[in-house]
Amino acid sequence: MSSLLFIRHTETGMAGKFCGYSDPDLNERGLKQIAAVIRELSDYPISRIYTSDLQRALQTAQPIVDHFHSKLEVRPGLREIDFGLWEGLSWSEIETRYPVEARRWIDFHPNVAAPGGESYERFQARVRQEIEFLIEKCSNECIAVVTHAGFIREVLTRFCRVAGQEAWGKTKAYGAVISIDRDIVWDTLKLSVGLPAGQ
C-alpha cells in the first residue's frame, strides 16, 4: 500500500502566536492529542516517519514511531516558515509594534516576508525539495510526515490543487491528519518541469 500522510504537530504553549522557527515543547493538551492522532492512523501500515527537527514535531512523532515500530528520519527542511521578528507575537501585538509591515503583509501576503523572516520564494523552494524527496520515498510504502500547518498548506495548494481556504480548514486543527494523493502530486511535479502528466 502506497500512501503519504501529513500530520500537523499537536498543541504547544504558543498556540495563537506566530510560531515558525521558535521551538516550544508540546503543552499538556498537545501531549493528550497524540492518542487521537494514533487512532486516526491505525488503519495505515506506516513503515517510516519523517519529521521536522523542531521539538513540537519531534514530540508528536516519537509516540507514533513507538506505536508503529517504524523508522524515524529527522529532516530540517520540514520546518515551518521562519517569521523572523514576529516569532512569539500575536497578530494584535504585530499590528501594534509593526503597523507598516503588518499592512504590507495583509496587502501582499504571501509574497512579503515578516521582518527578518524567510522569504516566500525560499520557503517554496524548500517545500518543493522536500515533497520531491517524499514522493520518491512513498512510491511503494506508506509513510507519515510530521510537520507544520504552513508547510502542509503549501503542499495542498501548490501540488494537490486544493483551494487556499480549503487547505486552511484541513490544517487548522492541531494533530490534523491529511492523506495526500501521490499521483496528483507527481503529475504536478512533472508538469512543472515540462513533462507530460500520467507518464
139-160 pLDDT, tens digit per residue, is 778 999 999 999 999 999 999 9
Among residues 60, 69, 65, 17, which one has the least CA distance to residue 175? 60
Place 193 in a pLDDT band, splitting at 50, 70 and 90.
low
Instruction: DSSP letter for 183, please.
Output: H
Q: How many CB atoms lie within 10 A of CB 92?
A: 9
Distance CA 102, CA 109 (A): 10
Which grid cell sits at 9?
A: 504537530
At the fourth CATH level, which superfamily is domain 3-82+118-192? Answer: Phosphoglycerate mutase-like (3.40.50.1240)
Q: What is the pTM of this model?
A: 0.93
23-33 pLDDT, tens digit per residue, is 999 999 999 99
Residue type, 171: T
17-57 pLDDT, tens digit per residue, is 999 999 999 999 999 999 999 999 999 999 999 999 999 99
**Residue ranges covered by each domain of the chain:** 3-82+118-192
Q: How many CB atoms lie within 10 A of CB 13?
A: 15
pLDDT at position 182 is: 83
Close Cβ partners of 181 (under 8 Å, ≥ 6 residues apart):
160
